[in-house]
Amino acid sequence: MTNSSRVLIIVPAWNEAGTVGDVVREIRGELPEADVLVVDDGATDDTARVARDAGATVASLPYNLGVGGAMRLGYRYARNAGYDVAVQIDADGQHDPRYVPKLVDGLQDASLVIGSRFAGEGGYRVSGPRHWSMIMLSLVLSRMAGCKLTDTTSGFRACDRTLIELFADWYPVEYLGDTIETLVRVIRLGHPVCQVPVAMRPRFAGTPSHSPAKSLVYLGRAFFALLLALTRR
Amino acid sequence: MRLTALTALTALVLLGVIFELVRRRQLREKYAILWMSVGLVVLVLGFFPRLLNSLALLVGVVSGVSLVLFLGIIFLLVVCIHLSWEASRLEEKTRTLAEEIALIRAKLTEREPIE
């Protein structure tokens, strides 16, 4: 990991009191030189207190905005406090902080580094409509970026100062906009993007939603989000 | 004649309600102007429902009433779209405010932990 750069880990959390404490402690244990900001996205449980007790800085939104709102807040904080690198990690524990140095190293050749679940490491598999949507997104976005992007909706990503400044002013709040649309915009603006293989862990708590109907809806929304992102200027 | 009485009365009530809302400053001026003009149009048409007959014939609609119905629906549709647009803009503004508040809160707790 580059030594001189100041790194902020942004953890968007909404009602994740059960896991956010362990996630923050793990990040601080693995990356003692990085600061941790937990964005409490209008949680109604103890998320903010648990995160603060675990040693994170907490920014509490007055009401729930969704991942996009929470992330823009995180990037605003990063911009105002002068961080060089921002890394996004989910509060449910599925992202392993031990990969953060690899992500940050990737920033030497790219502005945005995505931690990809399908690039070799770990045994993460999906099937059905959800798989098709991932293939579609991967095909289109890889082609645009000029490099292979296998996991475009991954919420495990690192970006440099240029993108911190972009995301502080502009970060879509719509569903999937936070991943797909940001990626499209970043590529269009000519910033290099790359991916780093990561292994995902099962969440610390809670169950992922994987019913066929839901994944079909997901496919539709992913397609719509991509279409909108591509037609926006 | 009974139809004219009905429509004229409706128009009067409508115009009265709009005027009262504007007078109590419950409507922003931009909406007030819009709805006052709508009220006036409805008032005129309420008293003279056959006013639009010739215009209707001109554009190929059999009766003026049908034309009013058609234009009314289009108008309401446009107003609805406008309101959705306005609501989206407001949501974006409140989002920005919420984020600013969270930033300020975080800064405050950094200085001296309250709560």
Q: What is the average pLDDT across A39-48?
A: 92
pLDDT band for position B115 (cuts 50, 70, 90) = very low
- pLDDT tens across B58-96, in order? 888 888 778 888 888 999 999 999 999 999 999 999 999
Whether this model's ipTM surpasses 0.85 comes out as no
Determine, for residues B99 and A62 on separate chains, whether the beta-carbon distance falls below 8 Å: no
Confidence check: pLDDT of A14 > 50: yes
Determine, for residues A57 and B110 on separate chains, whether the beta-carbon distance falls below 8 Å: yes
Q: Which domains does chain A carry? A: 7-231 (3.90.550.10)
pTM of the model: 0.81
Most confident range, picked from A94-98, B1-5, B16-20? A94-98
Which of A62, A65, A77 comes nearest B106 by C-beta? A77
Confidence check: pLDDT of B97 > 90: yes
Average pLDDT taken over every residue of chain A: 87
Name residue A38's beta-bridge partners: A11, A58
Determine, for residues A59 and B105 on separate chains, whether the beta-carbon distance falls below 8 Å: yes
Which of A52, A60, A173 comes nearest B102 by C-beta? A60
Q: At what angle do helices A212-231 and A129-145 cross, to 10 degrees?
A: 20
> Comparing A24-33, B10-19, B78-87, which segment has the lowest mean pLDDT?
B10-19
Determine, for residues A76 and B105 on separate chains, whether the beta-carbon distance falls below 8 Å: no
Task: Output the pLDDT for position A118.
Answer: 74
Task: Output the pLDDT for position A5.
Answer: 84
What DSSP element (H or E) covers A137?
helix A129-145
SS3 state of residue A143: helix
Other CB atoms within a 10 A radius of the CB of residue B37 amount to: 11
Whole-number Å distance between alpha carbons of B84 and A185 = 25
CA distance B96 to chain A (A): 8
Determine, for residues A65 and B98 on separate chains, whether the beta-carbon distance falls below 8 Å: yes
pLDDT band for position A217 (cuts 50, 70, 90) = confident
Determine, for residues B103 and A72 on separate chains, whether the beta-carbon distance falls below 8 Å: no
Q: What is the average pLDDT across A26-44?
A: 93
Interface test with A, best of B94, B95, B99 (most A CBs within 10 A): B99
Determine, for residues A69 and B110 on separate chains, whether the beta-carbon distance falls below 8 Å: no
Confidence check: pLDDT of A113 > 50: yes
- pLDDT tens across A152-178, in order? 888 899 999 999 999 999 998 887 878
Name every chain B residue with its beta carbon within 8 A of the beta carbon of A77.
103, 106
Name every chain A residue with its beta carbon within 8 A of the beta carbon of B106.
37, 57-60, 77
- pLDDT tens across B31-67, in order? 888 888 888 888 888 778 777 888 888 888 888 778 8
Interface test with B, best of A65, A71, A173 (most B CBs within 10 A): A65
